Amino acid sequence: MDFYTNAQETEYAAKVLFDAGVYRQAIYMCCLAVELYLKSKLHLVPHSDHLETSHDVVGQYKAIIKRYPPKSDLSFEIDRCRKYFNESRYPYAGDARVYTKEFADEFLHCVAAVKDFIDNKCIATVDDLKNKYNSDHNT
């Protein structure tokens, strides 16, 4: 499964958890969806190899925006995802009272903003596609 499809499924899972009132886990899934959407475009930009296997959304975002400047800066949202990716997974890592419906809704909007950036700004050129598919077939 590719990163983009995985991101879509993860985003869907976040929405299901949100609708079920499981906000802490919905936030975790939102953060993971953001990471997967970013990873889906790393093949288009020069980057450190560790970015594809790490949870470094800040590094992934920085690598992508060097080539594809966003219409609005998503750094705050990306930083927040980095923080809450771990804190929402481990309930002892922070104040559980923060995981409200309103807070989780902010993360759903973050995923939508990142997906919009990926879908509408990070467009592969013909040369990008040739390079990707030539390298995929040569390995």
- Read off the pLDDT of residues 13-32 as tens digits, 9 standing for 90 and up: 999 999 999 999 999 999 99
What residues in the chain have per-residue pLDDT under 50?
139
pLDDT computed for residue 1 by the predictor: 78
pTM of the entire predicted model: 0.88
- Whether the CB-CB separation of 14 and 1 falls below 8 Å is answered with no
Read off the pLDDT of residues 79-99 as tens digits, 9 standing for 90 and up. Answer: 999 999 988 988 776 677 889
As given in the structure block, the two tokens for residue 62 are 């920085």
Which residues touch 47 (CB under 8 Å, ≥6 apart)?
Answer: 59, 60, 63
CA distance 109 to 111: 5
98: its two tokens = 């923060």
Domains and CATH numbers, the chain: 3-138 (1.20.120.330)
**pLDDT at position 96:** 77
